[in-house]
A and B are shown apart, each in its own frame.
Chain A
Amino acid sequence: MKKVIMGNHSVSHGVMASEVKVISAYPITPQTHIVELLSEMCGNGDIDAKFIKVESEHSAMAACVGASAAGSRAFTATSSQGLLLMHEMLHWAVGARLPIVLANVNRAVGPPWSIWTDQNDSLSQRDVGWLQIYCESNQETQDTIPQAFKIAEELQMPVMIVLDAFFLSHTYEIVDIITKEEVRKFLPEYKPEIKIDTKDPHSFGNLGGPDVYMELRYMIQEAMEKGIDVIKRVDKEFEEVFGRGYGLIQPYRCDDAETILVTSGTVSSTTRAVIDQMRDEGIKIGSLKIRVFRPFPFEEVFEVLSKAKKVAVIDRNISFGNGGIFYQEIKSALYGRTDIPIVGYIAGLGGRDITPSVIREIADKAIGDDKPERYINWIGVKK
């Protein structure tokens, strides 16, 4: 059934259809609609889940850890400062190998206080070991939730799905709403091999000395590497049931492109419109959306970008002292395998709009400058 719904509610519908058993959350703008609708669904029986109200985001993730360890499918949603407060528990979910799914609405971090979008909240959690998937539309956001649970449960790894504040979270779009009955054909019931069970007792969270710690970390990396194929397969299986697939990355008009703009999130749709415009002018340009950020799809990215003559990366984030975070990742994917110039552009921090003219400015700069003086360029900074 098709409905016009907001991005946040598309997350709630994805969670409902995935038959999650425990939801634990704490309010934070601009995420709150997600859990408010879920609270309503728990009340009226649309979803047979327990809703745990807690006193902070740290507790929300701790409750998800407990619920998941007890063998339940667990979900939470948060944003910005809330995600940062969860940080300790994010590590715990990974180390304990719990397949929790979290929706993070990308919101800039304070101070100064901001409720508008940028990616520094989720990208500063890059190294904790959560899989990260960046969404572009309400449909993709909804569909990524059951995909995330399937991936998480197969790998025994937690998955974060990410959407832009306001540009997606509060924007209404047509969504083909999935149902539990349909999702059952795709996502099997969660049956963990090990769980907290009085009939089969285990001890969780023990001391891991230098003799075992490293092996456990190796296994997490192994799961991440295996994740690339699992995500691809799960996406295909989803497509077989629902007719929609999203891939690890999404190249657009890249086949003969001399310049490729790399994007993520909602900027990707705007970029495609600019690509079409420039193609009409006869400019050989394309774009590449990075959907799956962790595990990073090195081979797939190389495959597309290595055919170009120049790569421009648009980052709505900044790693202070280095540069755009997607820029760094793209560089590492191409390192030693090609010598095409890769240039980074920082734009749209704290919710500043990335309009078609901003993207056009980036594209023109990238094309026009054969030997860029700077590899990290700020777009639209007021003097």
Chain B
Amino acid sequence: MFNYLEYVREENFPHIWCSGCGDGIVLKALIRAMEATGMSRDEAVMVSGIGCSSRTPGYVDINTLHTTHGRAIPFATGVKHANPGLKVIVVTGDGDATAIGGNHFIHAARRNIDLTVLLYNNYIYGMTGGQCSPTTPIGYKASTAQFGNIEPTFNISGLAIAAGASFVARADVYNAKQCEKMIGLALEKKGFSLVEILTPCPTAFGRRNKMASPVKLMEWLRDHVVSGAKWEKLSEEDREGKIRSGILIDVDKPEYTEEYKKLTEKLRAV
């Protein structure tokens, strides 16, 4: 059996996540992926913002930085710039990265700076009690959308692709093995990589939307998320209402800190 204890700060357990939350599944998938890539824990830095997802670094026994709401990516940019040799992992959520920190998210993708961003998308602000986020679907309820949300949502992966990320994948916690695989690929990719991970929030999202049981939310993921290979076989009609998972883009582009180094060397050689 996999020994997770080697990677966690046992003194910080039990964790703060509610029962039925998917964040623990992501944590385990991340640990397995870290182990599989053989990365040095001393050279890894995990940076988070605010929210349930951003509690993750508290449990992982590597260098960690828990920062302010929305600003994980700028803090991480500073870390990566100061020491490009570090493996920098950003852990964030739909509210943290696409609302208050939305600007940073698209600009880091545009620059293609070598960060691995794990974005837990639970469709809600869970930690503050269930306010409507940029991914709360139309018609769904939140504490600030008690009669149903009317705002269109972000397609987070699509946003990252459009902004210029070199690797974007989508995963979900029902398919935990695939989630682990996508995180592993993102960790190994040079450049801005994103894994959008769909994860249930029974407490703040499910209860308001007739899916209070964690099982119901898991079943929702099972029934709606379709991996890349299966997706290709679906007709346009059958794709309606489904969400595609797997690798969405994987291209090689110049990485920002390397380009910066090259420019500096060029200028100093003159």
- Whether both chains belong to one complex is answered with yes
Give the interface of A toward B (CB within 8 A).
Answer: 26-29, 32, 35-36, 39-40, 43, 51, 53, 55-56, 81, 85, 110-111, 113
Residues from chain A with a CB closer than 8 A to the CB of B68 are 81, 110
**CA separation between A110 and B66, bound complex, in Å?**
10
Given contacts A32-B128, A55-B102, contact A39 B134 (CB under 8 A): no
Give the interface of B toward A (CB within 8 A).
Answer: 66, 68-70, 99-100, 102, 125, 127-129, 131-132, 134, 143-147, 151
Residue on B with the closest CB to A82?
B69
Residues from chain B with a CB closer than 8 A to the CB of A113 are 66
CB distance A43 to B100 under 8 Å? no
A-B contact pairs, 5 of them (CB 8 A): A28-B69, A53-B132, A55-B134, A56-B99, A81-B68
Residues from chain B with a CB closer than 8 A to the CB of A28 are 69, 128
Residues from chain A with a CB closer than 8 A to the CB of B102 are 55
CB distance B99 to A32 under 8 Å? no
Q: How far, in Å, is B122 (CB) from chain A's closest CB? A: 14
Ordered nearest first, which 3 A-B pairs have the shortest CB separation? A27-B128, A55-B99, A56-B100
CB distance B99 to A43 under 8 Å? no
Q: How far, in Å, is B139 (CB) from chain A's closest CB? A: 15
Q: How far, in Å, is B138 (CB) from chain A's closest CB? A: 14
CB distance B146 to A43 under 8 Å? yes
Residues from chain B with a CB closer than 8 A to the CB of A56 are 69-70, 99-100
CB distance B128 to A29 under 8 Å? yes
Q: A36-B143, A39-B143 given; name 19 further pairs at CB < 8 Å.
A: A26-B100, A27-B125, A27-B129, A27-B131, A28-B128, A29-B127, A29-B128, A32-B143, A35-B144, A36-B129, A39-B144, A39-B145, A43-B146, A43-B147, A53-B131, A53-B144, A55-B99, A81-B68, A81-B69
Given contacts A27-B125, A53-B151, A55-B134, contact A36 B144 (CB under 8 A): yes
**CA separation between A217 and B66, bound complex, in Å?**
39
Residue on B with the closest CB to A112?
B66
Residues from chain B with a CB closer than 8 A to the CB of A36 are 129, 131, 143-144
**CA separation between A113 and B145, bound complex, in Å?**
28
**CA separation between A27 and B100, bound complex, in Å?**
11
User: Which interface residue of B70, B129, B143, B144 has the most chain A CB atoms within 10 A?
Assistant: B144
**CA separation between A29 and B146, bound complex, in Å?**
19
Residues from chain A with a CB closer than 8 A to the CB of B132 are 53
**CA separation between A53 and B134, bound complex, in Å?**
10
**CA separation between A51 and B132, bound complex, in Å?**
12
Residues from chain A with a CB closer than 8 A to the CB of B70 are 56
CB distance B100 to A51 under 8 Å? no
**CA separation between A51 and B151, bound complex, in Å?**
13
**CA separation between A39 and B99, bound complex, in Å?**
19
User: Which interface residue of A39, A53, A56, A85 has the most chain B CB atoms within 10 A?
Assistant: A53
**CA separation between A27 and B151, bound complex, in Å?**
17
Q: How far, in Å, is A210 (CB) from chain B's closest CB? A: 33
Q: How far, in Å, is B254 (CB) from chain A's closest CB? A: 30
CB distance B145 to A53 under 8 Å? yes
**CA separation between A249 and B125, bound complex, in Å?**
39
Residue on B with the closest CB to A110?
B68
Residues from chain B with a CB closer than 8 A to the CB of A111 are 66
Q: How far, in Å, is A49 (CB) from chain B's closest CB? A: 13
User: Which interface residue of B102, B131, B146, B147 has the most chain A CB atoms within 10 A?
Assistant: B131
CB distance A27 to B134 under 8 Å? no
Residues from chain A with a CB closer than 8 A to the CB of B134 are 55
Q: How far, in Å, is A109 (CB) from chain B's closest CB? A: 10
Residue on B with the closest CB to A39?
B144
**CA separation between A66 and B99, bound complex, in Å?**
20
CB distance A32 to B100 under 8 Å? no
Residues from chain B with a CB closer than 8 A to the CB of A40 are 146
Of A27, A29, A81, the contact of B144 (CB 8 Å cutoff) = A27
Residue on A with the closest CB to B65?
A111
Residue on A with the closest CB to B100?
A56
Residues from chain B with a CB closer than 8 A to the CB of A26 are 100
**CA separation between A39 and B174, bound complex, in Å?**
33
CB distance A32 to B69 under 8 Å? no
Q: How far, in Å, is B64 (CB) from chain A's closest CB? A: 12
**CA separation between A189 and B6, bound complex, in Å?**
65
**CA separation between A156 and B70, bound complex, in Å?**
33
Residues from chain B with a CB closer than 8 A to the CB of A51 are 144
